[in-house]
Amino acid sequence: MSLIIYSIKIAILSYIIYSQMKKDNLFTRLLTLFLTFLKVGALTFGGGYAMIPIVLEEVSKKKKWISEMEMLDIIAISESTPGPIAVNTATYVGYRVNGILGSIVATFGLALPSFVIIFVISYFYKDFMQWQVIQAAFKGLKVGVILLLFNAVLKLKKGVKFTIIGVISFILALAVMIIFSIFDIQFKFMSLCLILYGILLGIVLTKIGKMEGGKE
Amino acid sequence: MVFFELFYTFFLIGLFTFGGGYAMIPMIQEQVVGKGWISEEALTDFIAISEVTPGPFALNISTFVGNTLAGPFGAICSTLGVILPSLIVIIIVAMIMKKFIANRYVQGALNGVKPIVLALILSTALLLLVKVTLFGGHSLQSEFSFDKRSLALLVFLVGFITIYKKINKKSLSPIKILGLSALLGIIIFTV
Task: Tell me: pLDDT of A214 over 50.
Answer: no
Is there a single domain that holds both residue A102 and residue A140?
A: no
- Name which residue leads in pLDDT, B159 or A4: B159
Is there a single domain that holds both residue A114 and residue A96?
A: yes
Where a domain ends, among A127, A148, A176?
A127
Please report residues of A whose CB lies closer than 8 A to that of B54: 41-45, 113-114, 117
Is there a single domain that holds both residue A139 and residue A56?
A: no
Task: Tell me: pLDDT of A216 over 70.
Answer: no
Per the structure, the complete domain to which residue A22 belongs is given by 2-127
* Inter-chain residue contact A144 with B181, CB threshold 8 Å: yes
Please give the pLDDT value at position A215.
37
Task: Tell me: pLDDT of A137 over 60.
Answer: yes
Please give the pLDDT value at position B6.
93
A21-25, A103-107, A155-159, A199-203: least confidently modelled range: A21-25
Please give the pLDDT value at position A211.
66
Mean pLDDT for B54-62 is: 85
Task: Tell me: pLDDT of B139 over 80.
Answer: no
* Inter-chain residue contact A45 with B175, CB threshold 8 Å: yes
Is there a single domain that holds both residue A35 and residue A121?
A: yes
pLDDT tens digits along A179-207: 988 888 877 788 788 888 988 998 999 88
Please give the pLDDT value at position A213.
47
Please give the pLDDT value at position A94.
92
The distance of A93 to chain B (nearest Cα, Å) reads 9
Give the rounded percent of residues in chain A with a pLDDT score beyond 90: 18
Is there a single domain that holds both residue A144 and residue A109?
A: no
Give CA–CA dist A36/B129, Å, rounded: 38
Task: Tell me: pLDDT of B129 over 50.
Answer: yes
Q: How many domains does chain A have?
A: 2
Please give the pLDDT value at position B75.
92
* Inter-chain residue contact A137 with B24, CB threshold 8 Å: no
